[in-house]
């Protein structure tokens, strides 16, 4: 082209705008507190603010389902970590007042006409034929909503598992007090000093002190798991959380140890959460919450039942949630039992859908059955743990620093329970000090 020639319109280059930078999810400050209730916030901002997973899920469900609440006290209820579930009206208003954005919750969008017609044609035979486009659209929307709920539930449980296992550098608040289980569930910061980093490198054989440290850390871990999982299901009262904790603590701790056995280098060792281990074929220290029979049973069960399954992280946390969400736990109120059943159904559905996405239907059904069969096996071994703890609490003296206090309050000793056949029904105030005072006064 000559220097004075003019390019025609078809030869002119069109300017392409630069691609927009990817959206980066804002992170919350380390150690941030939930602006709604004051609990420990998640690592990311949700709906524009720092929020805990309980308030995040509550806001999401309320907006997605377009729920309306009523306050019986004129909208003046106080929202805190201990009482955030007491009034949903005030809790939702609190979410809005601190800056949570309803428009940030992703809502289901209507399908275009062409996509709706294609969906109708593909699904007519499965639904029953000739049902009409409206029913098919509703089914599609329900399926999307169910998948979104499954993803949110699994991510919440994974976060619970991570935060429960992480350590912190805070000092213990239990040096001068011996709080009850109610205090520990209402004020999680009381156990900060017990939340050491859980590590299973198995570098040395456990002695009495290491067994005690493992016991205390596992009970603290179970308390965190139970408290946070119950809050997802909007379980209100502390007594209900204590009932769930008593029913799930032993099998939940056994599952955690058993899952680490499958990852260990030696089949003859049971790794503990403080880099120590118990020998599978040796008598454990006298103060261990695992007796020789339970150690052998756990080792065999881990290698024969758990290891062949090769549970994925999502499957493992869903199994832990199923153990925690026991609607038949003695002491549950009627409302809590209903809430636990509903959440347990959601966890079942999440586990089933995750298996269906990865496997053929027949293989998914078989794997689901094998995973669910692990629960009664853990429950049977859990009874042996509770018997060992109760006998130890009866005949072995505790040290002045509160050794064994958490397990004492959970299960007491062999003289505390009126129903000798039920190891899970104990009063919430059971403690060494209370028992001594009762005996002296009588």
Q: Which of 7-21, 22-36, 155-169 has the lowest mean pLDDT?
A: 7-21
Distance CA 345, CA 338 (A): 11
- Asked whether 286 and 396 are in contact (CB, 8 A), the reply is yes
Please state the CATH superfamily assignment of the domain spanning residues 156-436 in this structure.
Answer: Retinoid X Receptor (1.10.565.10)
Helix axes 334-358, 313-324, angle to 10 degrees: 160
Instruction: Provide the pLDDT for residue 306.
Output: 94
- The answer, yes or no, to whether residue 240 has pLDDT greater than 90, is yes
Closest by CA position to 220, among listed 263, 184, 186, 248: 184
For 396-433, the pLDDT digits (tens) are 655 434 445 566 778 877 776 543 344 344 333 333 33
Give me 293's structure tokens.
Answer: 């029979």
Q: SS3 helix, strand, coil % of the chain, rounded to 5?
A: 55, 5, 40
The H or E element that residue 392 is part of is helix 374-395
The domains of the chain are located at: 45-104, 156-436
Distance CA 226, CA 310 (A): 24
Higher pLDDT, 141 or 181: 181
Instruction: Provide the pLDDT for residue 69.
Output: 87
CATH of domain 45-104: 3.30.50.10
Distance CA 35, CA 439 (A): 46
φ, ψ for residue 262 (rounded to 5)? Answer: -70, -20
The H or E element that residue 141 is part of is helix 133-165
Instruction: Provide the pLDDT for residue 27.
Output: 54
DSSP letter (8 states) at residue 27:
B
The angle at the Cα of 232, spanning 150 to 346, to the nearest 5 degrees, equals: 35
Instruction: Provide the pLDDT for residue 7.
Output: 47
- Asked whether 219 and 276 are in contact (CB, 8 A), the reply is no
């Amino acid at each position: 082209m000559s220097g004075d020639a003019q390019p025609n319109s078809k030869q002119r280059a069109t300017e392409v705008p630069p691609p927009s930078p990817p959206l980066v999810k804002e992170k919350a400050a380390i150690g941030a507190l939930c602006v709604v209730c004051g609990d420990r916030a998640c690592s990311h901002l949700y709906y524009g603010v720092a929020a805990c997973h309980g308030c995040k899920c509550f806001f999401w469900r309320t907006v997605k389902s377009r729920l309306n609440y009523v306050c019986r006290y004129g909208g003046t209820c106080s929202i805190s970590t201990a009482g955030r579930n007491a009034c949903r009206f005030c809790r939702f208003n609190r979410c809005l007042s601190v800056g949570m954005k309803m428009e940030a919750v992703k809502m289901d969008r209507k399908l275009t006409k062409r996509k709706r017609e294609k969906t109708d044609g593909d699904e007519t035979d499965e639904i029953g034929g000739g049902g009409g486009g409206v029913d098919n659209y509703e089914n599609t929307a329900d399926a999307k909503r169910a998948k979104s709920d499954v993803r949110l539930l699994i991510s919440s449980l994974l976060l619970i598992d991570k935060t429960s296992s992480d350590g912190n550098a805070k000092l213990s608040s239990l040096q001068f007090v011996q709080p009850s289980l109610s205090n520990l569930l209402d004020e999680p910061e009381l156990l900060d000093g017990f939340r050491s980093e859980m590590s299973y490198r198995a570098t040395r054989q456990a002695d009495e002190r290491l067994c005690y440290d493992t016991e205390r850390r596992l009970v603290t871990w179970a308390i965190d798991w139970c408290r946070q999982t119950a809050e997802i299901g909007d379980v209100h009262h502390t007594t209900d959380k204590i009932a769930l904790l008593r029913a799930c603590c032993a099998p939940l701790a056994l599952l955690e140890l058993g899952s680490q056995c499958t990852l260990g280098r030696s089949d003859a060792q049971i790794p503990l959460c403080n880099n120590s281990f118990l020998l599978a074929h040796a008598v454990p220290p006298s103060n261990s919450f695992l007796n020789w029979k339970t150690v052998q049973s756990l080792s065999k069960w881990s290698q024969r039942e758990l290891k062949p399954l090769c549970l994925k992280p999502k499957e493992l946390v869903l199994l832990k949630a199923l153990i925690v969400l026991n609607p038949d736990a003695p002491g549950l109120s009627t409302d809590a039992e209903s809430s636990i059943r509903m959440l347990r159904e959601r966890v079942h559905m999440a586990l089933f859908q995750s298996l269906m996405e990865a496997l053929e239907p027949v293989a998914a059904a078989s794997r689901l059955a094998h995973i669910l069969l692990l629960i009664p096996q853990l429950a049977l071994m859990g009874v042996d743990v509770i018997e060992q703890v109760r006998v130890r609490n009866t005949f072995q003296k505790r040290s002045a620093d509160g050794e064994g206090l958490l397990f004492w309050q959970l299960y007491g000793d062999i003289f505390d329970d009126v129903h000798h056949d039920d190891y899970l029904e104990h009063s919430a105030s059971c403690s060494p000090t209370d028992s001594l005072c009762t005996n002296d006064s009588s």
